[in-house]
Structures are given as structure tokens and as C-alpha cells.
Structure 1
Amino acid sequence: MEYVYWGLIILAFIIAFVGLIYPVIPSVMFILLGFLLYGFLFSFEPFNWFFWLVQGLFVILLFGADYISNMIGVKKFGGSKAGVWGSTIGLLVGPFVIPFLGIILGPFIGAVIAELLVHRIGFKDAIKIGFGSVVGFISSVITKGIIQAAMVIYFFFLV
């Protein structure tokens, strides 16, 4: 039965990493689910206050990394808040409208449309801003992947 328990815990962690590519999946919740499953199925003993403090700081870093990476990517290429919002909406909608490629095309198209509609900038500049949103998304995925890996490694180090 222990193998089944570990299988569930590892499955929760795997789903969390899939959430990096499909942002509709709440990655943080699945990492926390893995911790809670371990606690309920085995023991909460390894999880002292310091563990929860470190994991809480990692969660704050995850949310910050997501927003800041997207914002920097769009702003560095000349975008505005509208571009950031368009990129975010495109990131959430894209994978459903265009399976597989929507994860990259969604933020791009969202930022381009937002900049064209809200600020009425030229098409060439809007394309540049859309490219910036893709750069921001990719850097966000890499950053969040590193943070999530650190969370899981710290978990395995303690248990």
C-alpha cells in the first residue's frame, strides 16, 4: 500500500509541473497536495514550522516570478499594462482554442490584440510586444520550474 501512497504523492508533483505548461492547472496547489498527502498517509512529523516557512516563501516567489517575468517581457519590448493583461488572458485561453501551440501563440496574440485595440499602436510594434510576451512566458516557466523543483527537493530531503 505504501507504493500506492507514494504514487499519489509523486502524481501530485508531476501534475504541478504540467501546470507550468498549462497555467489553468494550479501548480502550487498540487505541490501542497503532495505535502498534505504525505502528512496524512505517513506523518506530519518532518514538517516543522521552518519547513512551512520556507515553502511559504517559495509560494510567494512563484507568484512573483510569474507576474514579474510576464511584465518584464512585455515592457522590455515596449508594451503597456494592456499588453501584460492581453498576454495573461491569451495564456489562459490559448491552450483551449489552439491545443498544443496555444500555450505560445495565446500570449503572443493576446498581447498583440491588446496593444492594437487599447493603444492603437502600429502592427510592427504590436508584433514586437507580442514576441516580448512569449519571452516573458518562457522565462517565467523556467523560473517557476526551478522554484517548484526546489520545493520538491526540500520535501524529499526532509522525508
Structure 2
Amino acid sequence: MDILLLFFGLGLMLVGIVGSFLPALPGTPLSWVGLLLLHLTSAVPDDWTFLGITLAVSLLVLALDYFIPILGTKKFGGSKGGVIGTTIGLLVALIFPILGVLGIIIWPFLGALAGELMNKTNPKTALKAAFGSFLGFLAGTFLKFMVTLVFLWLFLAKVWEHRVPLFPFFKGA
């Protein structure tokens, strides 16, 4: 059972990292569930303080992910249309990866610009607001990505520290 929990936990850690870029997947909570599964193994002792702190961080980042793009948009004079356009642009980049890695940057910006142009008549103001919305999106994504990487590092450190057996015939180093 420990092996199953370990591999499901590691899988959730990796899905959490991917989820830091995909708006449909809650990356940090998925990574936290991976930490929880690791602590449910018999090899790793229960550490409810550790799990409580990492859960609080996960939920805080999840909440901030909704507020950071709004703050970026408002700071640069944008509207809700810019935030929605950024999200649609990201989905376009993921569904149609025409420009590869650059598409993850270009499509959300173009989506924010289109969303702002639909709400504003002044193209200069729309461009400024789209930039703010895009910066908010990048900041939120970067924060989620960094937290999921830290959670992965904590996961691997716990596996190493407690010599979690990876296979029944391997009892750790």
C-alpha cells in the first residue's frame, strides 16, 4: 500500500506542477494532496504541523491566484474583460500550441488586449490595461509554479530522509 501511496503522491506532485500553468487544475492543492499521501505511508511519521502549514500556504496561493490578475488589471486601469481575455488566450495557447512556448506568453496577452478593446474605445488605454492583466497572470502563474516546486522538493526530501522503500525488495539505503 505504501508503494501505491508513494507513486500516487508523486503523480499528484507532477500534476500539480502542470496545474500551476493550467487554469482548470488547482496546482498547489493537488501538490499538497501528494504531500498528504506521502504522510499516510507507514514509512513517514505523521507531521500534522508540517501538513497544516503547507495546506495554509496552498490555500493562500490558491486565493492569491484569483486576486493577483485583478490587482494587475486595476493597477493599469483595466477591466474584467482583460482578465477574461487573458484566461481565454491561455486556453487557446494550450489547445492550439501553434507558437510553442512563446504561445503561452503571446496568446494570453492578445486575449487581454482583445478583452480590453471590447470594453474600451481608446487603444492606448486598452494596451496598457492588457499589459497589467498579463503581468498579473504571469505573477500568479510564477507564484503557483514556485510553490509546487518547493512542495516537490519537500516531498523528495521526506522520501530521502525516511528512506521510503520504492519496491518491496528495496528497503532503502
Per the normalisation by structure 1, the TM-score is 0.74
Paired residues, number:
157
Stretch of structure 1 that moved more, 68-77 or 33-42: 33-42
Query: What secondary structure sits across from 2:20 in the alignment?
Result: helix
Question: For the structure 1 residues 23 and 42, does the alpha-carbon distance in structure 2 shift closer, same or farther, using more than 3 Å as the test?
Answer: farther
Query: Counterpart amino acid of 1:145?
Result: F
Counting aligned pairs with the same residue, the percent is 31
- 2:25 is aligned to 25
Stretch of structure 1 that moved more, 37-46 or 58-67: 37-46
Query: What secondary structure sits across from 2:78 in the alignment?
Result: coil
CA distance in 2: counterparts of 1:57 and 1:38, whole angstroms: 18
Question: For the structure 1 residues 77 and 109, does the alpha-carbon distance in structure 2 shift closer, same or farther, using more than 3 Å as the test?
Answer: same
Per the normalisation by structure 2, the TM-score is 0.69
Q: Hey, which of these two has a bigger chunk of helix by percent?
A: 1
The structure with the largest alpha-carbon Rg is: 2
- 2:60 is aligned to 61
- 1:86 is aligned to 85
Question: For the structure 1 residues 21 and 54, does the alpha-carbon distance in structure 2 shift closer, same or farther, using more than 3 Å as the test?
Answer: same
Question: Residue deviations 1:13-39, cap 9 Å, x none?
Answer: 122112222333331343134124324
Shift of 1:66: 1.1
- 1:12 is aligned to 12
Query: What secondary structure sits across from 2:23 in the alignment?
Result: coil
Shift of 1:40: 4.5
**RMSD, aligned CA:** 3.1
Shift of 1:79: 0.4
- 2:168 is aligned to none
Show structure 2 runs of 5+ residues with no match.
163-173
- 1:120 is aligned to 120
Query: Counterpart amino acid of 1:113?
Result: A
Show structure 1 runs of 5+ residues with no match.
none
CA distance in 2: counterparts of 1:54 and 1:152, whole angstroms: 15
Query: Counterpart amino acid of 2:107?
Result: G
Shift of 1:125: 2.1
Query: What secondary structure sits across from 1:138 in the alignment?
Result: helix
